[in-house]
Amino acid sequence: MKADAEKKVSRRRRASGRERIPKAAGAEDELTPGYAGTAGRKRKAGTAPEKGQASRAVRRNRRRAASLNLVFVLFFSVVTVLTVGMCIYYLRMKETVTSQTKENEALESELSTLRSENDALLESVNDSIDWEYVRNTAILKLGMSYATEDQIVWYNSSSDSSEVRQYRDVPS
């Protein structure tokens, strides 16, 4: 019966990837992984950790993971705050640009209106002047006449501007 029980245990160990290591005289029973690359650990027979209690390495790993989680939480919190701050800054700048664009459109509309009013006033002033009356008054009442060819003096300008500055009297 004992042999049957050992066969069952042996089959279970083979199925789980573990096999029994023959013990030397006076050595304690140990379990070892049955294939390479396993992260299993050696354990003395009969010293299984009790339920609810973690080994020292597990507790140390949990503490390390908790401290890393705190670091990552702080890091991502800072990154999140910076991202939200940049989004708020971007939205404010976009609102400023939008309001300035609307203001520019309003000013351009006002400028267009003022120009059209100015052109209309200039045209009404030009239409209100009777140029024939001015010409007749200048010739008949004031004795003015059109200039003759010998009265016209032509000047060559060295620059392309249409402005002429007079520094001395024009010869007669």
The beta-strand segments (E) located in 69-131 are none
Instruction: Identify the band that residue 81 occupies on the pLDDT scale cut at 50, 70 and 90.
Output: very high
What integer pLDDT is reported at residue 134 of this predicted model? 93
Instruction: Identify the band that residue 164 occupies on the pLDDT scale cut at 50, 70 and 90.
Output: confident
pTM for the whole thing? 0.40
Residue 172: pLDDT over 70: no
Where do the structural domains in the chain lie, given as residue ranges?
Answer: 1-48
- Both tokens assigned to 27: 């050595």
pLDDT for 42-76, tens place per residue? Answer: 555 555 556 566 788 888 888 877 777 778 888 99
Measure the CA–CA gap between 159 and 2, rounded to whole angstroms: 124
What integer pLDDT is reported at residue 72 of this predicted model? 84
